């Protein structure tokens, strides 16, 4: 009976597969597969428009053998080789060459089962949240976080320091040192190296210098610590200087083009403290040496100047002050998780970019959207002038009656906002300044101002259900605005990404905004994976061997003039042609194996792209697709610090 049933099932499966194969064969002949090279399935993989859909049902979520099949007992050599084999077989690289994979967390073998686990070769989620990667000169820092969520208390993962080799395409980076991971006072919890930004510079006295800024935290916000580094050895020479009262979730490292001694850190606090954004001088502007005590220069808080309040809760019907969110919580994905729903609206500043001239800050304002800050005072005054508080108000003006945020705005105070060292471009717009100074009734002023304020932020939440909202905001370089109202030729476009950590369905993508009118940013183009459609996200298969679902939203982008590399976490790295910002087009993808979180910013060094994956370690790629000539050669380039450098 059993044999008969098996035969019957086998026959049915055979017939079914033959039918599918024939259909597939016919489709090939109709030209849907544009590349019939043996073994190349890239062009035949399911696609949605121009976007590569990872075959999640086939993707290994754990350690593989030499043939690319899941095998927790395989040797390290086989696991390494098999990853490359299966990546090729599944078409996981298009227009990227996967040059090097450096697993940096060792695996441990279970003596009873013989199975390996807990390491990068196993795709183990060692770094549960953000992790830092940074390159300066030929020094590479990989701040592999650990998280007590996966590794347990007491485990530390030190920052690994690598030397990039002269023939970086042929030779993988070589580990040359480490910086100990910090721990909290209880010693049991490692302090994650969320962000690492090294930088080489020559101070005005002619000395070749190097510094490295580290944001170290167990999660949302971290201490900002600046080290002096020996550029020859890549090793720090001191214990670092910590900026007081600053907790950075992310930060931007700005090098003053008019004073090579001057570095400023713009820390985005993302709800970890009262201020949204804190600017700190980390070097002596006269000598270029790292300051023992960093200087507070200025801060900005959106809600203080009349913006949306933080941590807003809805009314009993679910209505927020700016609208109503979609709700997918009644749905369930293949992991058994409910769809996304909105519980509160943080409106916290998540990240951002200072323009190279320092006069603009492009704010990734979370659920408050993307907006632009005027930082001309910060850029064009000295640290000494700013610290003295004479040049401008160091902190945002609180415009609320009696300082009671979220109640009534005191119209007369709006004029003061333009005197804050850091303020929205809206508040120093000549028309707005005139409006506030005019003699029309306050009520009328407030109505007009409120409309303008809301339009000055590109804010898609609501309706899109969003935990973080806008994650990154990077201006597109070398594409100045041509509008007559933007005579200084500031950037015409900004790329933004959207985050939901370990987010439920649907997932979140990438948008391009025009900012030719700086006070009225507007979306012109977008790019998304298929799981931005909730129905696709819900049906997305679970890769065999995966222990958790990595994050899957568009995360950190490195933006060139016509090309963007986006570390899209579980979707790998994506190359997107933005030559027509109204119609961005995916032109390459790279998804290393096993499945993981490609989390860091892509750092470009001498034409190669370095990324960190929280599950699998460090990877080096070469982009060979359209517009590859734009990839900077002979420099380091990243979108989280003044670049190139």
Partner 1 sequence: MRWKSVPLIAAMLVVALVGAVTVAQDHERGSTPLFNAEDLLFLKHMIVHHEQAVVMSALVPARTDRDEFIRFARYVARAQAAEIASMQSLLELAADRGIDVPDYHAHGDPPMAGMLSSAEMKAIAAASGAEFERLWLEGMVYHHQGAIDMASAQQRQQLATGRQPYEIAVLVEEILVEQRAEIDKMRAWLGEWGLAGRARRSDVAQRAE
Report the phi/psi class of residue 202: left, alpha or beta, with left for phi > 0 and alpha for psi in -120 to 50.
Answer: beta
Q: Which is nearer to partner 1, 229 or 298 (CB)?
A: 298
Does the protein bind partner 1 through residue 548 (CB under 8 A)?
yes
Least gap, CB of 266 to partner 1 (angstroms)? 19
The answer to whether residues 632 and 608 touch, using CB atoms and an 8 Å cutoff, is: no
**Backbone φ and ψ of 432, nearest 5°:** -70, -40
Residue 144, CA distances (Å) to 128, 423, 443, 604, 614 in order = 10, 35, 53, 19, 7
End-to-end CA distance of the chain: 73
Q: Does 16 bind partner 1 (CB under 8 A)?
A: yes
CA pair distance 191, 181, nearest whole angstrom: 7
Radius of gyration of the chain (CA): 25
Are the CB atoms for 108 and 119 separated by under 8 Å?
Answer: yes
**Residue 129 found at the interface with partner 1 (CB under 8 A):** yes
Which of 323, 389, 463, 541 is close enough to bind partner 1 by CB under 8 A? 541
Site for partner 1 in 554-613 (CB under 8 A): none
Residue 8 interacts with partner 1 (CB under 8 A)? no
Integer Cα distance of 162 and 397 in angstroms: 45
For every residue of 123-178, which 3-state class applies, written as one string? CCCCCCCCCEEEEECCEEEEECCCCCCCCCCCCCCCEEEEECCCCCCCCCCEEEEE
In the list 271, 306, 352, 469, the residue contacting partner 1 (rule: CB under 8 A) is: 271
Binding of partner 1 at residue 113 (CB under 8 A)?
Answer: no
* Tokens 């951002």 sit on residue: 352
CB of 237 to partner 1, least distance (A): 27
Give the pairing type, strands 159-163 and 139-143. Answer: antiparallel
Q: How far is the CB of 567 from partner 1 (least distance, A)?
A: 20
Enumerate residues 147-186 that contact partner 1 by CB under 8 A: 147-150, 152-153, 184
Query: Residue 47 interacts with partner 1 (CB under 8 A)?
Result: no
Largest CA distance in the chain: 94
Nearer to partner 1, 495 or 505 (CB): 505
CA distance 109 to 409: 63
List 547, 562, 579, 583, residue binding partner 1 (CB under 8 A): 547
346 binds partner 1 (CB under 8 A): yes
State which of residues 213, 247, 391, 528 lies at the interface with partner 1 (CB under 8 A): 247
The least distance separating partner 1 from the CB of residue 143, rounded to whole angstroms, comes to 16
Instruction: Find the binder of partner 1 among 259, 287, 332, 520 (CB under 8 A).
Output: 332
Q: Name residues contacting partner 1, limited to 429-468 (CB under 8 A).
A: none
- CB-nearer residue toward partner 1: 13 or 635: 13
From the list 74, 146, 267, 273, which residue makes contact with partner 1 (rule: CB under 8 A)? 273
- Residues sharing a CB contact under 8 Å with residue 181, sequence separation 6 or more, in sequence order: 146, 156, 157, 158, 159, 190, 191, 193
Among 8, 11, 12, 21, binds partner 1 (CB under 8 A): 21
String of b and e for 184-218 (b: at least 16 CB within 10 Å)?
A: eeeeebbbbbbbbbbbbbebeeeeebbbbbbbbbb
Nearest to 606 by CA among 200, 136, 24, 291: 136
122: helix, strand or coil: helix
Q: Which of 542, 579, 627, 645 binds partner 1 (CB under 8 A)?
A: 542
**The binder of partner 1 chosen from 217, 265, 297, 466 (CB under 8 A):** 217
Could you say which residues in the range 459-518 bind partner 1, by CB under 8 A?
Answer: 501-502, 504
Among 100, 109, 337, 455, which residue interacts with partner 1 (rule: CB under 8 A)? 337
Give the three-state DSSP class for 375.
coil
Closer to partner 1 by Cβ: residue 235 or 544: 544
Minimum Å gap between C-beta 393 and partner 1 is 14
Contact indicator for 211, 290 with CB cutoff of 8 Å? yes
Cβ-based nearer residue to partner 1, 50 or 311: 311
Which residue among 181, 220, 394, 456 contacts partner 1 (CB under 8 A)? 220
Peptide linkage before 167 cis (omega within 30 of 0): no
Contact 468, 499 (CB under 8 A): yes
Question: Which DSSP string do the residues of 312-340 spell out, in sequence order?
Answer: B---TTS-BTTB-----TT-B-TTS-B--
CB of 626 to partner 1, least distance (A): 30
Output 317 or 443, the one with its CB closest to partner 1: 317
- Shorter beta-carbon distance to partner 1: residue 104 or 272: 272
Among 33, 47, 58, 387, the residue binding partner 1 under the rule CB under 8 A is: 58
Q: Which residues bind partner 1 (CB under 8 A)?
A: 13-14, 16-18, 20-22, 24-25, 57-58, 128-129, 147-150, 152-153, 184, 189, 217-221, 245, 247, 271-274, 309-311, 313, 329-330, 332, 334-338, 341, 343-344, 346, 403, 405, 501-502, 504, 541-544, 547-548
């Amino acid at each position: 009976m059993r044999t008969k049933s098996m035969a019957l099932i086998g026959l049915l499966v055979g017939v079914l597969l033959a039918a599918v194969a024939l259909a597939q064969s016919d489709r090939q002949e109709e030209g849907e597969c544009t590349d019939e090279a043996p073994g190349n399935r890239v062009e035949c993989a399911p696609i949605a428009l121009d976007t590569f859909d990872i075959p999640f049902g086939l993707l290994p979520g754990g350690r593989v053998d030499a043939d690319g099949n899941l095998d927790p007992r395989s040797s390290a050599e086989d696991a390494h080789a098999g990853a490359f084999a299966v990546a090729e077989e599944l078409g996981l690289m298009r227009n990227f060459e996967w040059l090097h994979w450096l697993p940096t967390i060792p695996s441990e073998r279970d003596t009873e089962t013989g199975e390996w686990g807990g390491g990068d070769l196993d795709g183990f989620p060692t770094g549960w949240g953000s992790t830092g990667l940074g390159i300066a000169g030929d020094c590479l820092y990989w701040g592999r976080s650990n998280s007590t969520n996966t590794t347990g208390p007491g485990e530390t993962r030190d920052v690994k320091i690598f030397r990039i080799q002269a023939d970086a395409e042929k030779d993988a980076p070589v580990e040359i040192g480490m910086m100990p991971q910090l721990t909290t006072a209880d010693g049991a919890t490692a302090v994650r190296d969320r962000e690492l930004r090294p930088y080489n510079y020559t101070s005005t006295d002619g000395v070749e210098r190097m510094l490295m800024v580290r944001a170290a935290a167990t999660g949302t916000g971290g201490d900002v610590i600046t080290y002096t580094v020996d550029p020859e050895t890549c090793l720090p020479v001191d214990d670092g200087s910590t900026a007081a009262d600053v907790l950075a979730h992310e930060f931007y490292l700005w090098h003053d083009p008019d004073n090579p001694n001057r570095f400023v850190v713009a820390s985005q606090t993302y709800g970890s403290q009262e201020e949204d954004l804190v600017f700190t001088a980390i070097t002596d502007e006269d000598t270029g040496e790292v300051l023992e005590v960093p200087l507070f220069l200025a801060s900005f808080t959106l809600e203080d100047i009349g913006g949306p309040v933080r941590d807003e809760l809805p009314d009993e019907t679910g209505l927020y002050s700016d609208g109503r969110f979609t709700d997918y919580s009644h749905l369930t994905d293949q992991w058994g998780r409910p769809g996304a729903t909105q519980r509160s609206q943080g409106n916290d500043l998540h990240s951002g970019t200072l323009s190279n001239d320092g006069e603009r800050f492009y704010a990734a304002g979370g659920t408050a959207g993307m907006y632009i800050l005027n930082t001309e005072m910060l850029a064009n005054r000295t640290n000494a002038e700013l610290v003295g508080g004479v040049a401008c108000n160091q902190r945002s003006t609180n415009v609320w009656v009696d300082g009671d945020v979220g109640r009534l705005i005191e119209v007369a105070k709006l004029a003061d906002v333009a005197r804050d060292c850091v303020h929205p471009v809206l508040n120093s717009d000549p028309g707005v300044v005139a409006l506030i100074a005019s003699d029309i009734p306050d009520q009328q002023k407030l109505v007009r101002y409120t409309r303008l304020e809301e339009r000055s932020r590109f804010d898609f939440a609501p309706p899109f259900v969003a935990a973080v909202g806008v994650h990154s905001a990077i201006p597109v370089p070398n594409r100045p605005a041509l509008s007559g109202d933007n005579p200084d030729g500031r950037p015409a476009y900004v790329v933004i990404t959207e985050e939901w950590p370990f987010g439920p369905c649907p997932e979140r993508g990438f948008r391009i905004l025009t900012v030719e009118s700086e006070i009225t940013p507007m979306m012109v183009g977008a790019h998304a994976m298929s799981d931005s459609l909730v129905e696709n996200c819900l049906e997305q298969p679970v890769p065999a061997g995966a222990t958790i679902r990595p994050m899957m939203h568009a995360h950190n982008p490195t933006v060139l003039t016509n090309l963007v590399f986006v570390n899209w976490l579980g979707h790998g790295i994506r190359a997107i042609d933005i030559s027509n910002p109204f119609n961005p087009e995916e032109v390459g993808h790279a998804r290393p194996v096993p499945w993981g979180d490609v989390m860091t910013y892509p750092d470009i060094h001498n034409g190669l792209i370095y990324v960190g994956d929280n599950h699998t370690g460090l990877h080096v790629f070469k982009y060979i697709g359209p517009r590859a000539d734009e990839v900077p050669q002979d420099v380091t380039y990243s979108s989280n610090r003044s670049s190139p450098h």
